């Protein structure tokens, strides 16, 4: 009876208030779960954070003092509670490798990943959506087969292989693009950091030379990420469009004598726009968290390479902090896509 009364009270709350509360509670529960899993993984990994700080030549007294100072002598749940409190206060710990607060490191490294993933997603949208629509319209033809083959290659080829081949051909042999890194050494620190994204900061500073050099460095890794993005987006677009093109309202529109272009873009494509928002959001989130290999191959100073380097240095505070931030971004993008879905889809408002 108490559960039934609680459900009635919850349903009596106006939807305009109930939905934000539900969304916020989902975010909090998801983040606490992510923090717990991340924390446990950090504790069970075969890495001794104490040795990483004091070194292998430290005495037992130094080791024990550091062990206690880190709170590792407490029960695991107590450690997690204090870790949770610190995270919600914006304290992600101090990096052993850089000696700086992890939050400050992330503010420095994350914009590079965001810039790379954003351009990759834009490439995926510009190429992937028209390719998926064309493949659906030309279903069964050689155009459809080529589009599906392109998507299949994007899913199949390892990113490290295509990255190394791209560097060898376009940088090493042809010299069409810049090499590893975000800028040549000569152009570093020439423009003030406002957003942390070189392309935007160079435009804000009006320095086209830095912009040109930064673009030459980002075009290849962004294109590789964009290829993986367009493979996913084109495949999902094709699937959504096929479902719409086989619908009765499309047949009715054609019977009425509407042009094929209007049937495709004004009717069929319009009805998959809301679904594509979720697809693009997931693709963007995937590039943000999955660009580790690309960043390593191209020496890109992003959050992926930061986490990897920290892991190799047994810098668990940096690893956990970076993982938490990436997970938070992923959750926020999913929530944002869900909100947009509800706003744009009339069926979701009912």
Provide the whole-model pTM: 0.82
Output the pLDDT for position 143.
87
| Domain membership flag for residue 14 | no
Interatomic CA distance for residues 254 and 268, integer angstroms: 12
115 and 226 inside one domain? yes
Other C-beta atoms closer than 10 Å to the C-beta of 126 total: 13
128 and 271 inside one domain? yes
| Domain membership flag for residue 239 | yes
250 and 156 inside one domain? yes
Output the pLDDT for position 131.
92
| Domain membership flag for residue 189 | yes
Output the pLDDT for position 61.
80
CA angle 84, 111, 42 (to 5 degrees): 30
69 and 171 inside one domain? no
52 and 178 inside one domain? no
162 and 35 inside one domain? no
Interatomic CA distance for residues 54 and 75, integer angstroms: 22
Q: Are 304 and 292 in contact (CB under 8 A)?
A: yes
144 and 240 inside one domain? yes
255 and 208 inside one domain? yes
Q: Are 197 and 115 in contact (CB under 8 A)?
A: yes
Output the pLDDT for position 257.
77
DSSP state of 95: -
Q: Are 183 and 217 in contact (CB under 8 A)?
A: yes
58 and 118 inside one domain? no
| Domain membership flag for residue 196 | yes
Output the pLDDT for position 65.
82
> Three-state SS for 94?
strand
Residues 119, 305, 235, 123, Cα dihedral to 10°: 10
List CB contacts of 65: < 8 A, sequence separation 6 or more. Answer: none
Output the pLDDT for position 126.
92
Low-confidence ranges of the chain (pLDDT < 70): 1-20, 46-47, 52, 290, 344-350
Total tally of structural domains belonging to the chain: 2
131 and 46 inside one domain? no
Q: Which residue range is the domain that position 49 belongs to?
A: 21-82
Q: Are 225 and 304 in contact (CB under 8 A)?
A: no
List CB contacts of 194: < 8 A, sequence separation 6 or more. Answer: 200, 201, 204
| Domain membership flag for residue 327 | no
Kindly report the CATH number assigned to the domain that includes residue 199: 1.10.3720.10
Other C-beta atoms closer than 10 Å to the C-beta of 15 total: 10
Please choose, from the candidates 159, 124, 150, 323, the residue with its C-alpha nearest in 3D space to the C-alpha of residue 233: 124
Output the pLDDT for position 122.
93
| Domain membership flag for residue 345 | no
Q: What is the DSSP code string of 148-206? A: HHHHHHHHHS-HHHHHHHHIIIIIIIS--S--SSSS-GGGTTSS--SSS-HHHHHHHHT
Q: What is the DSSP code string of 8-71? A: HHHHHS-HHHHHHHHHHHHHHHHHHHHHHHHHHHHHHSS--HHHHHH-TT--HHHHHHHHHHTT
Please choose, from the candidates 246, 228, 232, 231, the residue with its C-alpha nearest in 3D space to the C-alpha of residue 139: 246
Q: pLDDT tens-digit profile of 172-207? A: 888 888 888 888 888 887 888 888 888 888 888 888
71 and 170 inside one domain? no
List CB contacts of 183: < 8 A, sequence separation 6 or more. Answer: 198, 210, 213, 214, 217
Task: Count CA within 13 A, CB hemisphere, residue 215.
Answer: 10
283 and 214 inside one domain? yes
210 Cα distance to chain centroid? 26
| Domain membership flag for residue 269 | yes
Q: pLDDT tens-digit profile of 3-52? A: 555 555 545 555 555 566 777 777 778 778 878 887 787 777 766 777 76
| Domain membership flag for residue 39 | yes
Output the pLDDT for position 8.
52
Output the pLDDT for position 85.
84
Other C-beta atoms closer than 10 Å to the C-beta of 329 total: 19
């Amino acid at each position: 009876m108490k559960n039934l009364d609680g459900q009635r009270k919850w349903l009596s709350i106006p939807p305009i208030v109930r939905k934000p509360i539900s969304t916020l509670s989902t975010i909090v529960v998801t983040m606490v779960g992510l923090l717990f899993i991340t924390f446990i993984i950090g504790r069970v990994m075969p890495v001794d954070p104490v040795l990483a700080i004091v070194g292998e030549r430290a005495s037992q007294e130094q080791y024990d003092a550091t062990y206690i100072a880190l709170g590792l002598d407490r029960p695991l749940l107590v450690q997690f509670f204090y870790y949770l409190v610190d995270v919600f206060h914006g304290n992600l710990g101090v990096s052993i490798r850089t000696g700086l607060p992890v939050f400050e490191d992330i503010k420095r490294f994350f914009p590079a990943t965001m810039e790379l993933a954003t351009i990759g997603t834009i490439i995926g949208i510009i190429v992937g959506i028209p390719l998926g629509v064309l493949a659906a319209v030309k279903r069964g033809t050689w155009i459809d087969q080529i589009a599906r083959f392109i998507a299949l290659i994007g899913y199949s080829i390892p990113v490290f292989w295509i990255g190394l081949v791209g560097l060898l051909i376009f940088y090493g042999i042809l010299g069409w693009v810049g090499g590893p890194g975000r800028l040549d050494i000569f152009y570093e620190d020439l423009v003030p950091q406002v957003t942390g994204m070189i392309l935007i900061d160079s435009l804000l500073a009006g320095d086209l030379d830095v912009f040109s050099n930064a673009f030459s460095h980002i075009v290849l890794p962004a294109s590789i990420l964009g290829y993986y993005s367009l493979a996913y987006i084109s495949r999902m677009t094709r699937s959504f469009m096929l479902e719409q093109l086989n619908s009765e309202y499309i047949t009715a529109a054609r019977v009425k004598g509407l042009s094929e272009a209007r049937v495709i873009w004004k009717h069929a494509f319009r009805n998959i726009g809301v679904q594509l928002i979720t697809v693009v959001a997931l693709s963007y989130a995937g590039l943000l968290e999955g660009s580790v290999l690309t960043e390593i191959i191209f020496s890109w100073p992003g959050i992926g390479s930061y986490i990897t380097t920290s892991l190799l240095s047994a810098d668990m505070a940096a690893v956990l902090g970076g993982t938490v931030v990436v997970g938070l971004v992923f959750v926020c993008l999913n929530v944002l896509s869900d909100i947009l879905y509800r706003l744009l889809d009339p069926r979701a408002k009912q």
